Amino acid sequence: MTKRWDYLHEKISHHLQFIYADVVTTTPMGELATELMNTIGLHSEDDIVIPEPHKNYWDEQDIIMITYGDSVMNEHESPLFTLFRFLHTYCKNTVNKVHILPFFPFSSDDGFSVINYSSVNESLGTWSDVHRIAAEYGLMFDLVINHCSSRSMWFDNFIKGEGPGSDFFLTADPATDLSEVTRPRTSPLLRETETANGTQYVWCTFSHDQVDFDFRNPKVLLTFIQIIKHYIDNGAKIFRLDAVAFLWKIIGTKCINLPQTHEVIRLMRTLIEHVDPSIMIITETNIPNRENLTYFGNANEAHAIYNFSLPPLLVNTMVTGDCTYLKSWMMSMPPAQNGTTYFNFIASHDGIGLRPAEGLLSDEEIGTLVQSMQNFGGRISWRSTDHGQQKPYEINITLFDAMQGTVKGPDKYQVDRFLCAHAIMLGMEGIPGLYIHSLLGTSNDYDKVANTGQNRSINRKRWDYSELEAQLDSPYSQHHKVLTRLSQLIRIRKAQEAFHPNATQFTLQLGTALFGYWRQSLNRRQSIFCISNVTDEEQSILLSDLNLIGTDNWIDLITRDQIEDVLGFIQLKPYQTVWLSNMDYEEYRKANN
């Protein structure tokens, strides 16, 4: 073999030695390293691509839409084809990447209890439908890595005690003290299961239909590298590692964020980036902010991490009219070094997670936020603490309905408040992700909650495509207004160098009613002051507080109004955002035509 191949083989062996240091395995680490390299397609020197350290494979053009494969449905065609039509018709000039939530055969949790990782759910379409979307959009695939369905072939073989998967699952003695284990759900941790080898107690972090893998078995790791290769071959450009924080378990610990988990991610990063350095890994770790940040590693783990603290803090800001907590959090966030970035979102298929707000919002603030969301029709999902107490885990509500009003109650500013929240998110450091139901201004789906009995269904509406078309083509509908105005904001964002995900960002000190930050492009040519009125009253700002350079020509990119006097002031209507840029107006107009 060549020097390059030997170096990579040694690096992978090092990862494996760390992961399995305390595990008795029958396979030598060098042999396993070779098998992993061959599995992902790194057979020889010619297959290995050398990644450039700290390179950003993203820019201000990148906007990710998050959607289920069947969020839009049309009679007599596959939902994935209907999704392609929707993207082509309504999102072609705004979205360039798409996260299709798990589109594999599943048994529960709207896709996150996977029965078969290698095929497309027949009710959604075929691999050809996936390839059609992948030809025009960068696709994010879910790698549901912590658990699979109890109806999978693997778990059937576990019950039978023979065949592939028979040794894939984690079991524990129910007499063991498991009180330290971090739980995102209130169901019992262990599932009693009758097998050919007697009664087994299977570890289930989330639900008894979602049985946890035992990564102490190297066969499990090898199987997931096979899955990764399969997804790359079918168009995956981004991997979302679902619930990855729970991957490795050690009795007597919290069984979350363990060093072996981080090393598995580093191993996957090493393998993937030597196949194609432009393929991204995003870790989905719905945990307190400080713990979440560790998944960057030293630019050798996730390329991007979900900014899970943003949704609860931003929603809290909008309903209280006070940006104190959001501002404090933003000032505390370290700039992502080149080669890494944040994945910003304020709505997703799940609810508004509250664990990432722990330590950032007080219990009283969280209680007020929860009550406000319940007043707007939201539901609350709960979790058990280490001491058996029940605490709110997430708020289940559509973001559009979460913006109905303030702590004082509903008001007339729902659309403006909703767009203000998105303007704040779109200008921030990182890559923006927009949930399809935010793009569409979808309201709470109470019928689906009643049908499924699941709180999260409130934000998982399935639109009939013809009905959706009628709404989007009507200038009077909330859906038309939201999509039109959001699309305008996105198009403006995509034209600005200062909105590169890694461009410089500083938080501005403008009081509690005005939330602001400054962005500067990597080449320092463009500056943008992003300022939002987060209250239901007019606010004014002295431009002298911003220290605008008097020799530059300043404009508001959103209204296209020019700033005539940099020592004057501007009035911001309730929930108005301005993006004040020193880019010449003619340059801006050319960039947007």
Does the annotation place 4 within a ligand binding site? Answer: no
Does the annotation place 9 within a ligand binding site? Answer: no
Q: Which of 242, 322, 416, 445 is catalytic?
A: 242
Residue 521 near residue 564, CB atoms below 8 Å: no
Does the annotation place 322 within a ligand binding site? Answer: no
- The tokens of 1 are what? 């073999």
- The tokens of 326 are what? 């959001």
Q: Spell out a b/e string for 410-448, using b for 16 or more CB atoms within 10 Å of the CB, else e.
A: eeebbbbbbbbbbbbbbbbbbbbbbbbbbbbbbbbbeeb
Q: How far apart are CA 224 and CA 277, in angstroms?
A: 19
Q: Which residues pair with 382 in a beta bridge?
A: 392
Q: How far apart are CA 420 and CA 345, in angstroms?
A: 14
Q: How far apart are CA 505 and CA 428, in angstroms?
A: 8
- Clarify whether 242 is annotated catalytic: yes
Could you please report the per-residue DSSP string of 227-254? HHHHHHHTTEEEEEEETGGGS---TTS-
Q: How far apart are CA 105 and CA 118, in angstroms?
A: 9
Strands 514-520 and 341-344: unpaired
- Nearest 5 degrees, angle CA 516-CA 495-CA 556? 45
Strands 514-520 and 504-507: antiparallel
Among the residues of 444-584, which ranges form H helices? 446-452, 465-472, 478-494
Q: Which residue spans within 289-389 are E strands per DSSP?
A: 304-306, 341-344, 352-353, 379-384
Can you say whether residue 404 is alpha, beta or left, with left for phi > 0 and alpha for psi between -120 and 50 degrees? alpha
Does the annotation place 456 within a ligand binding site? Answer: yes
CA 488 to mean position of chain CA atoms: 23
Does the annotation place 15 within a ligand binding site? Answer: no
Q: Which residues pair with 572 in a beta bridge?
A: 539
Helix (H) or strand (E) holding 502: none
Give me the active site residues, please: 242
Residues placed in the known binding site for substrate: 109, 147, 240-242, 349-350, 456
